Structure formats: structure tokens, C-alpha cells
Amino acid sequence: MATPLSALSKLISSGIVTIESTYAKHGADFPSIDEPFRPGPLDGDEALSETVDIVIAAAAQLIALIKPAPRTMIESACLFHVPATLLVVENAHVAETLREAGPQGLHIKDIGERCGVDPQKVGRILRYLATNHIFSEIAPDVFANNRISSVLDTGKSVAVIKADPIAKHDNTSGLPALVSHCTDEMMKAVVHLADNVLDPNITSSQEITQSVFSRAFNQGPPFEFFEKPGNEFRLRRFGAGMHGMSMAFSTGALLTGFDWKSLPQDALVVDVGGGVGSSSLQLLKHYPQLRFVIQEKPKVVEDGKKFWEHADPEALKSGRVELKVHDFFEPQPIKDAAVFFLRFITHDWPDKYAKQILKHLRASALPSTKLIFNDFLVPYAGPTKGQFSDISGSEMPRAPYPLMPNLGTVSNQSVMADMQMMVSFNALERTIGQFISLVEGTGWRLKSIGRSSGSSVCLMVFETVAI
């Protein structure tokens, strides 16, 4: 058997050959890191995404294997400088400023003058980020955007942003807003993680009011924090960021992870806590035989009606889509649902609260009703040894030797989201085992898991069992 070093090297080299040949077949070059990011025609290619993930996993594991352990530990301990510096350049509109300057870039004196920051300090910040492949130093003290830093660009002019700062992230991709949210209040909260976890009085707490976020800001969960006077910008930024996050996830599992066509004509899907109904809209486009009820808080219902009047007014007029006010901690009023659908709902709630939601749904379910989660599924970092083989779709594709079963850093999306939930709500993104524990005693049983390549967001299908 090949050594781990040579096996990892082979995975990287063979993967690169596949990537470059695939681009060549489509008459395209692999994107340069020196050019702005643009969605490409191969972004949705599932086979290519699998190859890319293998290369990423192998390259990261090779670095972890080769780099001396003390050096890795010290550098890891100082990684907080990445979000800290990203917050500076995002708040100072550096990506927009460099985009307006063009590919020749700007000297730090000009950057400092246009962005209102000390030129030496912004230069050091940009050099740190450029050393980590975010921005490029194209000449001494001259910086330009690259493919990665361009993702921070809202696409708006600096003049427009300064004229209405609170609206900076409105009508944008949402990715700069998400970065700003994560590097602002979330980073300020996470420094209290050790205090919370090591506090014997609350280490096992499932109360949202005893979360890391609540400790950091001395108040309730993020949703309450954003509604406080003075946080208007943060609230709008958060909304834009959540839009950006949802747009970044593949919809493959949503559309194919369950056999929606098997549902009869006019079968009712209840989108519990469904926001304005963006997921229901995607399902309706592909499965027009279904009916939908979207349940939300009063203000969101009003926003949802505006959303549907623009996106598909006929769906509202015909009654194929209805928006109704409902609190999912109250008894579920709908008794004839074919599916109760929850997208990114249970991850906001510790088990004791999430179980209440599921019990209300079970009390209103028919024997044939399905409960479907569209959510992160956190993969184990080690082997499961067929422990969940009775659940269809539970086994991930076998990772080639010597990669970790979850492909290591390829799974960062889900494990980072799990940390976000711990910090924000005392809640969690869940593994298969944790989903099984969650529904235990609620009258539901995990039946199958639908996946799509390149995403940790899955479709988990539950069926009713006797209570």
C-alpha cells in the first residue's frame, strides 16, 4: 500500500488532471485567482464537485501531515486575525474601493485616504490577508482584489454605500453581509465560548437565555438583539446574510431527496416556519400538483404575501399557496397534511424545545404524514461501521485512502454552522445519531436521507410511529 504522503499526492495530481480536462472539454480555462469571482458553467456539475472536494480534502490533509505540529497549533491559535481583519476591510468598503480602482490596484496611501483609515495599518491588514490568499499585493504596498476578495464586493459604488450606509447589503448577493455578520457580533460572542462551556452551573443548559451570545451581550438570543434600538443596520445585514447563505446551498437535495411525485394531486405540504416561502416556491415550480400552506409570524406572513405577489401571483389567487399565521410552539391546526416540511428550523432550538415542535406536529399527523427536514447533516469525522445502515442514504460515499471519512475540511460548512448554533442559541446542527435522539419519544422515526454532491444540506424524511 502507498504511504499516506504519496497517496495524497496522487489524489491531488489525478484530481487536477480531471478538473483541467473537464474545463478543456467545455472550452474554458480554470478560473485564475487574480480575476474577480464569477459563477461559471461548471459550478453545478456534480461529478466535478466530487473531484474538487477530493482535491481539497487531500491538499488540506497533506498540509496537516507535513507541517510541524507546534507550528500548526500556534497558527491555529492565531486564526482569529482572519475574521478580525475581514471585518475591517468589509466595514471600510475596501473591496468596492479596489474594484473601482481597477486591476492596477491602489497604493496603501490612496486606500487609506479613500477608506478613512491609517494607510500603514490597512497595508499591514491587507498584507496579512494577501498572505492567506485574500487580496493580492501586486507591487510593494499596492493591493488589488483577487478572486476570493472580490466576494466581499457588494457591487455597489462607494458613493452609494456612503450615502445610505444602512442599506449597504440590500439587494446584493448577501455573501458580504454574511461575512460581516460572522466577523462582527458572532466573533464578539464566541470569545465567551470557554466561559460558558466551562461554567459548571450552565455547561449542560439547554436554555437560549444562557447561550454564549446571551452572555456576551447580556441579553436574549440574536433575534431579540437585532430588534433592539440601534441595531437596525445589523438586522438588515442579518437578513441579507441569511438570503446569501440560502442561495449558496445546492437545492439538489430539496428537489430530489424525497419522491415528491409520489404524492397525489393536491397533496398538502405545510411549510412550518417557512419564511416568505422561497423553498415552497422551488417545490411548486417542479411539482405543480402539490398545495402549500406556509406558516409564519404575522409580519413575515405579510412580507410573504408581497413575495408571492411578485414571484407567482396566480398561486395565491388559486389557493394553491396560502400563508397563515402560526406559532410552531402551539398545537398544529392542520390535520390533513401529506408533509410537514421544516427548513433550517430545528437547528435553532436545543432538543427540549425542538421536541415540543415535533410533538405538536405528530399530534396533528395522519398515519401517512411525512415529516421532512431540509437541514445540515453533520458527518462524523470517524467511521460509523455501518451503525445506521437501516436508514436509507445514511452512508456517505467511501472516501479514498487515506482521507478522513468526512473529507476533513470539506465538512467545515456543517461543523462551523454547528459552532454558530452553539454560540447563538445553545442549539446545534445534528449528526444522524443526534437526529435519532431528537425524535425519540415524539412519535417520529428517521426513514431516509437524501443528499446532493458538494453540500452538507440534506433532506431527512421521518415517518410516524406509535407514541
Q: Are 93 and 158 in contact (CB under 8 A)?
A: yes
The CATH topology of domain 79-163 is Arc Repressor Mutant, subunit A (1.10.10)
Q: What is the pLDDT of residue 250?
A: 61
Rounded Cα gap, residues 176 and 95, in angstroms:
10
Rounded Cα gap, residues 411 and 427, in angstroms:
19
Q: What is the pLDDT of residue 249?
A: 66
Which SS3 state, helix, strand or coil, does residue 280 take? helix
Rounded Cα gap, residues 461 and 374, in angstroms:
9
Give the residue among 119, 99, 96, 100 at the shortest CA–CA distance from 109: 119
Rounded Cα gap, residues 112 and 123, in angstroms:
8
Q: What is the pLDDT of residue 42?
A: 86
Domain ranges of the chain: 4-38+45-75, 79-163, 165-247, 249-464
- Could you list the pLDDT tens digit for every one of the 467 residues in the chain? 799 999 999 999 999 999 999 999 999 999 999 999 998 888 878 889 899 999 999 999 999 999 999 999 999 999 999 999 999 999 999 999 999 999 999 999 999 999 999 999 999 999 999 999 999 999 999 999 999 999 999 999 999 999 999 999 998 999 999 999 999 999 999 999 999 999 999 999 999 999 999 999 998 889 889 989 999 999 899 988 887 776 666 667 899 999 999 999 999 999 999 998 989 999 999 999 999 999 999 989 998 999 999 999 999 999 999 999 999 999 999 999 999 999 999 999 999 999 999 999 999 999 999 999 999 999 999 999 889 999 999 988 899 999 999 999 999 999 999 999 999 999 999 999 999 999 999 999 999 999 876 678 999 999 999 98
Rounded Cα gap, residues 29 and 234, in angstroms:
39
Residue 385 CB: number of other CB atoms within 10 A?
A: 7
Burial letters for 283-318: b for 16+ Cβ neighbours within 10 Å, e otherwise? Answer: bbeeeeebbbbbbbeeebbebbbebbeebbeebbee
How many residues can be counted in the chain?
467
Q: Are 175 and 244 in contact (CB under 8 A)?
A: yes
Q: Where are the beta strands (DSSP E) in 136-260?
A: 136-139, 142-144
Q: Which residue has the cell 466561559?
A: 195
Point out which residues pair with 371 in neighbouring strands: 340, 462
420 — phi, psi (to 5°)?
A: -60, -40
Q: Based on the number of CB atoms within 10 Å of its own CB, is 16 exposed (0-12), middle (13-18) or buried (19 or more)? A: middle
Q: What is the pLDDT of residue 248?
A: 66
Q: Which residue has the cell 398545495?
A: 291
Tell which CATH classification among 3.40.50.150, 3.60.15.10, 3.40.50.2300, 3.30.420.10 matches the domain 249-464. 3.40.50.150
List the grid coordinates of 118.
491609517
Rounded Cα gap, residues 95 and 339, in angstroms:
44
Q: What is the pLDDT of residue 395?
A: 86
Q: What is the pLDDT of residue 117?
A: 98
Prior bond to 402 cis, omega within 30?
A: yes
Q: Are 282 and 255 in contact (CB under 8 A)?
A: yes
Task: Give Cα 410 to chain centroid, integer Å.
Answer: 13
Point out which residues pair with 343 in neighbouring strands: 374
Q: Are 423 and 186 in contact (CB under 8 A)?
A: yes
Residues involved in catalysis: 347
